[in-house]
Structure 1
């Protein structure tokens, strides 16, 4: 008997099991019930999307500078075009908006450098982003240095103010939340009690109340002649509020790490901070990515609450524009534009977090 010791070459998969038609049959038309549900879903999408697309794109008005240019039955995007600079920069002087553009471009370049894995010197870029970029951004946007005209924070607004509140709140809330989470797990009663009280106090109060108290009540407790900028008050309130939520997210990740990791590091003679910084926290933060990004997205959307203290973020500046007598009746277009901008940023954060999860999923 002759035995064939050679491996047979791999054969391609059957044509019926691969390709778009195979995917449709396996996922959407695999049986009578799934077929009916798929057809009903397609009809519902057709019923909802057809008038929406017709209103937003086909019958919409895009060009113009006044309400008189809106002559069709569709959306009047002329309103957004006419007020776009105000939506982005708020009341910032139009001749000085180049300063904000430089800040946006520099911030985008730094974030892209940190996000692209192949680019080198990430440690130095991270240091520049955390410590050098905020100084440059403040000098450019606020002015008063190097011959730049001073622009008060009262004139900051629109998307610029939303990004300032969100980015500063995210960057500041994460390390504070980590410290609070470690303090809540501490074996020292005083430190643990202080952290627990702080977390429960700030989590138990609505953000709108915290912003109101920071804007109205805080100046009453300051010495005579000391006036804290309204934007600083909002940033402090948002940071403290979100750090309490972040602390619970971090604490959940720390509790998911087996005690054997910490005990093994202690057996090697590592100190507490080395164990946390090199062994426990890197594993915990990897598992906490969904919770952290969820908190960041919530923070980004909560920035709209600063309207109650007189700061005009993107939503606030859109509402202020809608109060103009010339543009009465275009509320839908303004709110749709605002919702779309918020969705772009929140969806981008969500997708990047999923990319990080896949990239860091090295096993546990």
Structure 2
């Protein structure tokens, strides 16, 4: 037999590789993310070329040539020398936004009463910030004040007609105030109602299960505009003769029910992701059904679907613009309404107003997105970032 060693037996050790570098400089990030390969290099160069073509002109139009102060359309026009007619138009007409800023925020709410929505906004911020901070104490009391006491106080402050406050009809409400009210109510109602619907859809009781499935599938099968029309037109038909419901309240009901159906499916996805052993372990400890749900299953399910929950909230916040279909003017609706003002009709007014409205929507949506990421990291969902 051969005495030679088999060919696959190593007789020398591999030279040790150098440790991975931990270069966190800007140059290293650029090299790794933009120029790591020939394809990345080509795409990065094309993208940079497009940015250099677009950004200077956009900045020039948005800021350099923009009109910032004024009380009518004349400040957004370039007047021909020696004449009274404009021979061209400047950049963005921010003077239009500045002149109508309060209307964009409060709608047609009376000037002398605007301290009331301002006070409501301050109260909302004061109650919302502590509940968003994980380490803030007294979360139960904070939640009670925010979701129970605050809506009642806000209703009396905004509508008036009580405690010596002048009555302000809801058709006068508008702007960002309406957007925030619809969003807050929709979020506050859709999450608990969505949880109930998700549990009902998984119930072993056929009647409860079929009712929840029917509600979810019907609401998810029609657009929000249809739900708003039904709330605005059909809801009064189910009321006793002589009874009526305010149009704004109808919109609140429609938006909240619509968001609840989508939230139910998000929560149901989280419930299905929980291993069966969790429920069996809770049963072995002698926990009741509701103890098992609220102490074991639901906390894990909600933690898993935080991105889906926040995505539903963001969609709800943007969908509030559809209430203009039924005569309510949210931020986008009140901005568009001012396009028809003769004193501000210019070719650049609409695009300036839409950019302003889009920026406000982006601030709130981006804030919710960033907070979602923060909560995922805080709760350690196990996703790599």
Q: TM-score range by the shorter chain?
A: over 0.9
Is 2:31 the counterpart of 1:25? yes
Q: How does 1:329-344 map to 2 (within 5 A)?
A: 329=346, 330-344=349-363
Q: How does 1:162-173 map to 2 (within 5 A)?
A: 162-173=179-190
- Give the equivalent residue in structure 1 for 2:130: 113
The equivalent position to 1:50 in structure 2, one of 53, 56, 67, is 56
Q: How does 1:125-144 map to 2 (within 5 A)?
A: 125-144=142-161
Unaligned segments of structure 1, at least 5 residues: 1-11
Q: Which whole-Å CA distance do the structure 1 matches of 2:21 and 2:283 have between them?
A: 56
Is 2:308 the counterpart of 1:319? no
Is 2:115 the counterpart of 1:98? yes
- Give the equivalent residue in structure 2 for 1:292: 309
Is 2:76 the counterpart of 1:70? yes
Q: Which whole-Å CA distance do the structure 1 matches of 2:180 and 2:199 have between them?
A: 29
Q: Sort the Cα spacing of 1:14 and 1:307 in 2 relative to 1 into closer, same or farther, 3 A.
A: closer
- 1:362 deviates by 5.6
Unaligned segments of structure 2, at least 5 residues: 1-18, 79-89
Q: How does 1:1-364 map to 2 (within 5 A)?
A: 17-71=23-77, 73-329=90-346, 330-361=349-380
Q: Report the RMSD for the aligned CA atoms in angstroms.
A: 1.6
- 1:13 deviates by 8.8
Q: What is the TM-score when the length of structure 2 is the normalising length?
A: 0.88
Q: How many residue pairs align between the two structures?
A: 352
- 1:298 deviates by 0.7
CA offset digits 1:37-94 (Å, max 9, x no partner):
2111111111121211110011111112211122452111010011001000001001
Q: Which runs of 4+ in 1 moved over 6 A?
A: 12-15
- 1:96 deviates by 0.6
CA offset digits 1:262-292 (Å, max 9, x no partner):
0100011000000000000000000110000
Q: What is the TM-score when the length of structure 1 is the normalising length?
A: 0.93
- 1:152 deviates by 1.1
